[in-house]
Structure 1
Amino acid sequence: MPIPAIASYQMPGSSDLPENRVSWTPEPNRSVLLIHDMQNYFLHAFMQKESPLVELVQHIKRIKRKCHALQIPVVYSAQPGGQTPEQRGLLQDFWGDGIPNHSDEQSIHTDLSPDSNDIVLTKWRYSAFKKTNLLELVKEQGRDQLIICGVYAHIGCLLTASEAFMQDIQPFFIADAVADFSFEHHQMAIQYAADRCAVTMSTEQLIDEWKKSLSDGYHALPMSLQEVQKQVAELLQEDPVHLSVDEDLIHRGLDSIRIMSLVEKWRSSGAEVTFVDLAERPTLSEWWSLLSAQSEKIASRDLG
């Protein structure tokens, strides 16, 4: 009943990816990353320093780093050690006692250790949604896409993708950032995901799609002082030519609700602006100075 030793196999490449039935695209402001069960207990079954484990860790590490840069929430699932038969339930019949109550076996791979702002969920069943608050976390963040990586592809990763789909959360199954008992199990998992519940893609494709989304988003930010003037004038229902670039817009009648609508609009395009930023400097010229600096920062950070 213990997890069998896993022979080395080549991580699937672009030519191994199945055709997706849907054309969803991952977007940074809609995404949550799930790093699924990357604990030593599960990883010790692989041949160390060989495929697919080497690529698995490298690709997840790269995705996580990009998520932090893009302010995408990162969530880990991790099973507790020393579970009782009652806690294990029917898992006991298939897999025995599970993770022993040793800290090293429970620990997440050292190259992928959670950062202080990451979330670690205690996981009890195949699906990371079962007996956890993952669904609530995704909804609270205002997100509706789940990027799935980790182990094992045909068990917990696939069941989590299926349940995300049934909760109207778009799953993205990262084919070269999951691993499995064999190439055949791995291929079955990504084929089923593409056929029934998710978009299957590579790490490179995921990051390219994020870059494209952000690049397109730059054009949603005002590209000139005149565009800022036009957007504010629309909120005030005035002709833009009647707004001076240095007048106090709050005195002009721009209330907090309208300011917040601008904050939400510009943040959805990647700008790190807050209500306080705008309220403390309520002029068109100051806002344009803030937004133009943000555009340069986003371009340097996310497309570099």
Structure 2
Amino acid sequence: MAIHFEDYDVTLLRGHCGGPSWGVDPTRAALLVHDLQPHYLDTLSARSRRLLLARVEHVVDWADGNGVPILSSGPRPASDLAQRGLLGACWGIGLSPEQAAQVAVPRLGAIGITRIAKRSYSAFYASDLETELRRRRRDQLIIIGVYASHGILATSLDAISRDIQAFIPFDATADYTAYRHAAALDLIGTMSGRVLAVEDLPQSGAR
């Protein structure tokens, strides 16, 4: 599938924050670093990639410092196109096992994280994500990474269907174009979660 990418300034999307009046509680929340493999990041412009990684590392540090469990999602590698289901018709065979194992944030290698192997756009689909959240008694999920209009939107929709509050820091996510990014944020804010800024994340114990 041919996709058009453009360079844009994510900070200009601040006006798309909004959604339910939920508040992040570090004692209830988990962080999902969504599909942050170099294979996906390399499609972004140099500026978008640099800004995204800086904000992601900031959120990872915040989570680590506030006792928030950190999970990292990525596609389950397929050895046959049929294993990809309908995604195979859209995107082909997908990532190799080596590509799927990579994460573009070195900081994640230095702290304890749980890897979630998923089979479709949503990180909940055919994965252990919900089990991991329930095991930790977490009913809030902060989602960062790529792409806002694909997996992040889909994951937020699955989250609300499971009575899990989704929070999306707009400036720690990215997409192909500013239009797609803004549209995804608007859909999330009206249907499935709260869109906020990285700087809005509270300190431990805040409600």
- Tell me if 1:122 matches 2:112: no
What's the CA shift for 1:60? 0.9
1:41 is aligned to 39
SS of 1:46's partner is coil
TM-score by length of structure 2 reads 0.92
Shift of 1:215: 5.7
User: Is residue 214 of structure 1 aligned with residue 202 of structure 2?
Assistant: no
Distance 1:5 1:47 in 2: 12
Aligned mates of 2:14, 2:159 — CA distance in 1: 26
Structure 1 counterpart of 2:50, from 47, 54, 74: 54
Q: Deviations over 1:128-150 (max 9, x none)?
A: 00011100110110110000111
Taking the aligned partners of 1:126 and 1:104, their CA distance within structure 2 comes to: 17
From the two aligned structures, give the one with the greater strand fraction: 2
1:76 to 72, 84, 87: 72
Question: Following the alignment from structure 2 to structure 1, what is the Cα–Cα distance between the partners of residues 77 and 156?
Answer: 24
- Which residue, out of 128, 136, 154, partners 2:131? 136
* In 2: Cα distance, 1:93 partner to 1:215 partner: 45
2:154 matches 1:159: yes
Aligned mate of 2:82, from 86, 89, 98: 86
Structure 1 segments of 4+ aligned residues over 3 angstroms from their partners: 12-15, 80-83, 110-116
1:16 matched residue in structure 2: 15
- How has the CA–CA distance of structure 1 residues 15 and 179 changed in structure 2, closer, same or farther, with 3 Å as cutoff? closer
Higher CA-based Rg: 1
State the superposition RMSD in angstroms.
1.9
Spell out, residue by residue over 1:172-202, the C-alpha distance to the aligned partner (whole angstroms, 9 max, x if none): 0111111001000000010000001101001
Alpha-carbon distance in 2 for matches of 1:215, 1:152? 29
Contact 1:57 1:112 in 2 (8 A): no
Judge which range, 117-126 or 160-169, deviates more.
117-126
SS of the counterpart of 1:9?
Answer: coil
- Give me the identity figure in percent: 27
Question: CA offsets, 1:146-172, max 9 Å, x none?
Answer: 001110000000000010000000000
Aligned length: 207
Is the contact made by 2:57 and 2:105 (CA closer than 8 Å) also made in structure 1?
no
Q: Indicate yes or no: 2:5 matched with 1:6.
A: yes
Matching of residues 255-274 of structure 1 within 5 Å: none
**For residues 112 and 156 of structure 1, do their structure 2 counterparts lie closer, same or farther at Cα, with a shift above 3 Å needed?**
farther
Offset at 1:82? 4.8
Change over 3 Å in CA distance of 1:73–1:194 after alignment to 2: same
Deviation per residue, 1:220-271 (Å, 9 max, x gap): xxxxxxxxxxxxxxxxxxxxxxxxxxxxxxxxxxxxxxxxxxxxxxxxxxxx
State how far apart, in whole Å, the 2-side matches of 1:86 and 1:215 are: 46
Residue 199 of structure 2 is aligned to residue 204 of structure 1: yes
Per the alignment, residue 111 of structure 1 pairs with: 106
Residues 37-62 of structure 1 show CA distances to partners (whole Å, capped at 9, x for unaligned) of 000111111122x1x22121111111
Distance change (3 Å), C-alpha of 1:36 and 1:83: farther
How big is the shift at 1:112? 4.5
Q: In 2, Cα distance between the equivalents of 1:199 and 1:142?
A: 20
> Structure 2: 5+ residue runs without aligned partners?
none
CA contact (8 A) 1:5 1:46 kept: no
Secondary structure class of the residue paired with 1:121:
strand
Q: Are the aligned partners of 1:114 and 1:120 in contact in 2 as well (CA < 8 Å)?
A: no
Structure 2 match to 1:193: 188
Distance 2:31 2:89 in 1: 31
Distance (Å, rounded) in 2 between the aligned partners of 1:41 and 1:134: 22
Q: Residue deviations 1:86-121, cap 9 Å, x none?
A: 2211001111121245x3575110435344521011
Equivalent position amino acid for 1:97 in 2? I
Letter in 2 for 1:12: T
